[in-house]
């Protein structure tokens, strides 16, 4: 089984600044994937970034990057140059390589202030 | 290429009625997943289906809930004799395969079920 923990229920950041969302996970799998999903008020789930656990290099997608610490089982999301459109719930998730179900954290609500 | 479609977007039922939630996967996707999101919580896996087969239903309650993905048509999540505790957002996701880059799951907009 896998568990995903997000210890920050809510965070705020000023527009154009940088914010880091925390996520820790626990898994007995050797091969797995980690994800960050964004859920704006529309409730649509949008994939932000994905990391393969066997890759040491941290994934990056434009203003979004992760800090993947495999030994510590930590997978934080850094958002640079925050924009008002980044306001949303952010969910961290894990998935074993050979299984298709996601395990989601409880989410962090991010407010970007003008 | 249209994304994952779910309908209805909002569904209101009285206790004891049946709820049917539909999911049309992205074109070319044959793997469908259903998740439930209770208020203020993350998504919880319910069931994974391939065409005409249930692959993993470990997250689905044993009673009142069923799911299907027929050869033709959308996947259906069916909840019989709904209770207030079934009120939640139900998300469907689909993927092209289960390996490599094609295993990325794309989510639909969800169906918000309210049981009165």
Question: Taking CB atoms and an 8 Å cutoff, what residues of chain B touch A103?
Answer: 45
pLDDT at B28: 87
Q: How far is A81 from chain B (nearest CA, A)?
A: 26
Residue range B24-63, pLDDT digits in tens: 999 888 899 999 999 878 899 999 999 889 999 999 999 9
| Residue B53 β-bridge partners | B50
pLDDT at B39: 83
Instruction: Please judge whether B42 and A105 are an interchain contact, meaning their C-beta atoms are less than 8 angstroms apart.
Output: yes
CA distance B33 to A100: 8
Residue range A7-54, pLDDT digits in tens: 999 999 999 999 999 999 998 888 899 999 999 988 888 999 999 998
**Among B108, B84, B116, which residue's Cα sits nearest to residue B22?**
B108
Half-sphere exposure (CA, 13 Å, Cβ side) for A57?
A: 3
- Whether A100 shows a pLDDT value over 80: the answer reads no
Half-sphere exposure (CA, 13 Å, Cβ side) for A76?
A: 13
A88-96 and A32-39: which strand pairing? antiparallel
pLDDT at B98: 65
Instruction: Please judge whether A100 and B112 are an interchain contact, meaning their C-beta atoms are less than 8 angstroms apart.
Output: no
| pLDDT band at residue B100 using 50, 70 and 90 as cut-offs | low
In this prediction, residues B93-109 reach a mean pLDDT of 78
- Share above pLDDT 70 across residues of chain A, in percent, rounded to a whole number: 99
Using CB atoms, pick whichever of A42, A44, A100 lies closest to residue B31: A100
- Whether B101 shows a pLDDT value over 60: the answer reads no
**HEC letters along chain B:** CCCCEEECCEEEECCCCCEEEEEECCCCCCEEEEEEECCCCCEEEEEEEECCEEEECCCCCCCCEEEECCCCCCEEEEECCCCHHHCEEEEEEEECCCCHHHHCCEECCCEEEEEC
């Amino acid at each position: 089984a896998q568990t995903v923990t997000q210890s920050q229920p809510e965070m705020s950041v000023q527009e154009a600044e940088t914010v880091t969302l925390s996520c820790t996970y626990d898994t007995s799998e050797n091969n797995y994937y980690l994800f960050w999903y964004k859920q704006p008020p529309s409730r649509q789930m949008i994939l932000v970034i994905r990391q393969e656990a066997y890759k040491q290099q941290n994934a990056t997608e434009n203003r979004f990057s992760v800090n993947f610490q495999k030994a510590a089982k930590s997978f934080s999301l850094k958002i640079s140059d925050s924009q008002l459109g980044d306001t949303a719930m952010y969910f961290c998730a894990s998935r074993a390589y050979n299984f298709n179900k996601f395990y989601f954290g409880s989410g962090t609500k991010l407010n970007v202030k003008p | 290429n249209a994304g994952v479609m779910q309908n209805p977007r909002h569904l209101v039922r009285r206790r004891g009625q049946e709820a049917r939630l539909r999911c049309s996967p992205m074109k070319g996707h044959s793997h469908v997943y259903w998740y439930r999101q209770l208020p203020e919580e993350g998504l919880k896996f319910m069931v994974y289906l391939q065409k005409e087969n249930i692959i993993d239903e470990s997250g689905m309650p044993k009673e009142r809930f069923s799911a299907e993905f027929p050869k033709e048509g959308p996947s259906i999540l069916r909840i019989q004799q709904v209770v207030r505790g079934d009120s939640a957002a139900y998300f469907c996701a689909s993927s092209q395969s289960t390996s490599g880059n094609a295993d990325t799951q794309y989510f639909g907009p969800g169906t918000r079920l309210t049981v009165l």
